[in-house]
């Protein structure tokens, strides 16, 4: 399956949630910078872990023309859902 649209939107959405929840400006940062920022700000380890996995998936999609293993896509959806739940709790 082609996960380009999902990966593009998911990473933007999660970054937007992090910005809103933490009153920060992260748009334009690399995923490495965002993960470093999350650690420095003391963002919950579980959120950081799921974010790292989601961002890695999004990078994989970006550099593979969107075609990745369906199970990887399902795992990414689960990670995005869990991040959303953790941030909004």
Concatenate the DSSP letters of all residues of 27-65 into one string: TT--HHHHHHHHHHTT--HHHHHHHHHHHHHHHHHHTTT
pLDDT of residue 80: 94
Number of alpha carbons in the 13 Å side-chain half-sphere of residue 38:
25
pLDDT of residue 66: 64
What pLDDT shows up at residue 24?
Answer: 94
- Reading the chain (89 residues) residue by residue, the pLDDT tens digits are 788 888 889 999 999 999 999 999 998 899 999 999 999 999 999 999 999 999 999 999 988 876 788 899 999 999 999 999 999 88
> Which pLDDT does position 68 carry in this prediction?
82
The phi, psi pair for 36, rounded to 5°, reads -65, -45
Please, which residues have CB within 8 angstroms of residue 80's CB and are 6 or more apart in sequence?
10, 13, 14, 50, 54
């Amino acid at each position: 399956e082609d996960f380009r649209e999902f990966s593009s939107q998911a990473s933007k959405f999660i970054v937007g949630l992090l910005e809103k929840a933490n009153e920060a400006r992260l748009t334009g940062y690399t995923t490495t910078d965002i993960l470093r920022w999350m650690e420095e700000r003391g963002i919950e380890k579980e959120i950081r872990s799921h974010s790292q996995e989601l961002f890695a998936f999004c990078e994989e999609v970006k550099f593979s023309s969107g075609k990745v293993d369906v199970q990887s896509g399902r795992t990414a959806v689960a990670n995005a859902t869990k991040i959303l739940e953790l941030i909004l709790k």
